[in-house]
């Protein structure tokens, strides 16, 4: 089996402006920001300020909850298809961001997919290492199953390091013989803790969001065994996967290698490469038209993978 690779050409003026702005601001800031416990805690201001800077759309309904002790929130949109769920794991390097920073995009995913989205506030650096972030994410998935949600109607999704966690949840479900989710969605997912390939890839100088210096410092911060990388896992048995990534971003090699490994394991995978889009450009869908287009693609994929059970099937089973 080969992955289905779709190249999405065209880069709007707004997308180019966003890339330029990130290159001048976020990229140097992340290259030199102190990744010390104090420096990491200072970044929590982004999560606190997010509701003012990135408010959820007025039509979105947000409910804070705890699931087996893990903080989370339900984000719902009008027209919800009851029973369809997206378990969403935010990105941010496992030290930055949270459900609030991603709430606006998550609400749009709820709207385009017809799903209730459970956005997880897993623990992260400096308080918790990668293994704890994975464990929290798995606990929420298990909790959804225990609450009676049908795994055939649950999609696990995430962006960047949240994409790492999305694959980790699905792999842990296989290892612990839990029911598999219906599908996985990765928005520029980090899938390989070994950053050596990324550091020498041509996108190392083309990426508007990350520098080689940042990638190396991030690897040192996580100090995690590359064996934990989803790309090195036993992928056979995973559900269908959709991956979206920008053509010039640092994590393109991770997306490509994951798509290749999934295909080798017999897992259906669609890899969409969007021309010259920045890292997780879907977050900027208010500004970048390609971001909203990509979210609609995600919504269509989720709907395709989580159809409503046919009433006749239930009647037959009961008989």
Q: Which of 119, 160, 180, 285 is catalytic?
A: 160
Q: What is the dihedral of CA 256, 257, 260, 262, to 10 degrees?
A: -110
Q: Residue 250 in contact with residue 209, Cβ under 8 Å?
A: yes
Structure tokens at 305: 């993978």
Rounded (5°) CA angle 84-54-57: 50
Please state, in angstroms and rounded to a whole number, the distance separating the CA atoms of residues 195 and 180.
29
160 is catalytic: yes
Helix, strand, coil shares of the chain, percent, nearest 5, are: 50, 15, 35
Please state, in angstroms and rounded to a whole number, the distance separating the CA atoms of residues 249 and 272.
13
Please state, in angstroms and rounded to a whole number, the distance separating the CA atoms of residues 141 and 276.
34
Please state, in angstroms and rounded to a whole number, the distance separating the CA atoms of residues 139 and 134.
9
β-bridge partners, 63: 74
10: left (phi over 0), alpha (psi -120 to 50) or beta: left
Helical segments of the chain, H only: 13-24, 26-32, 37-42, 45-53, 99-113, 130-146, 161-175, 196-200, 203-206, 212-222, 252-264, 289-305, 311-318
| Residue of 279, 269, 291 lying closest to 10 (CA atoms) | 291
Q: Which of 137, 195, 279, 285 is catalytic?
A: 279
Rounded (5°) CA angle 187-188-190: 115
Whole-angstrom distance between the N-terminal and C-terminal Cα of the chain? 39
Catalytic residues: 160, 249, 279
């Amino acid at each position: 089996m080969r992955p289905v690779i779709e190249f999405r050409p065209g880069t709007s003026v707004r997308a180019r402006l966003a890339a330029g702005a990130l290159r001048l601001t976020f990229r140097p800031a992340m290259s030199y920001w102190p990744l010390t416990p104090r420096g990491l805690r200072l970044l929590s201001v982004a999560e606190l300020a997010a509701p003012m800077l990135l408010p959820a759309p007025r039509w979105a309904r947000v409910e804070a909850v705890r699931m087996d002790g893990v903080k989370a929130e339900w984000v719902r949109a009008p027209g919800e298809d009851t029973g369809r769920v997206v378990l969403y794991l935010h990105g941010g390097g496992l030290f930055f961001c949270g459900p609030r920073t991603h709430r606006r995009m998550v609400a749009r995913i709820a709207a385009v997919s017809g799903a209730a989205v459970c956005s997880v506030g897993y623990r992260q650096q400096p308080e918790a290492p990668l293994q704890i972030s994975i464990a929290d994410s798995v606990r929420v998935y298990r909790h959804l199953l225990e609450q009676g949600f049908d795994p055939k109607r649950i999609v696990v999704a995430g962006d960047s390091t949240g994409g790492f966690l999305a694959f980790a949840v699905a792999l842990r479900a296989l290892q612990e013989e839990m029911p598999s989710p219906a599908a996985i969605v990765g928005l520029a997912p980090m899938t390989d803790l070994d950053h050596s390939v990324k550091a020498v890839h041509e996108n190392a100088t083309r990426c508007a969001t990350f520098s080689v210096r940042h990638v190396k410092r991030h690897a040192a911060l996580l100090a995690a065994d590359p064996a934990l990388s989803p790309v090195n896992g036993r992928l056979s048995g995973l559900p269908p996967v959709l991956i979206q990534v920008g053509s010039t971003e640092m994590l393109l090699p991770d997306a490509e290698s994951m798509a290749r490994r999934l295909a080798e394991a017999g897992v259906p995978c669609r890899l969409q490469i969007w021309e010259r889009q920045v890292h997780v450009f879907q977050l900027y869908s208010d500004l970048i038209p390609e971001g909203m287009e990509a979210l609609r693609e995600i919504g269509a994929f989720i709907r395709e993978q989580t159809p409503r059970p046919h009433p006749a099937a239930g009647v037959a089973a009961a008989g």
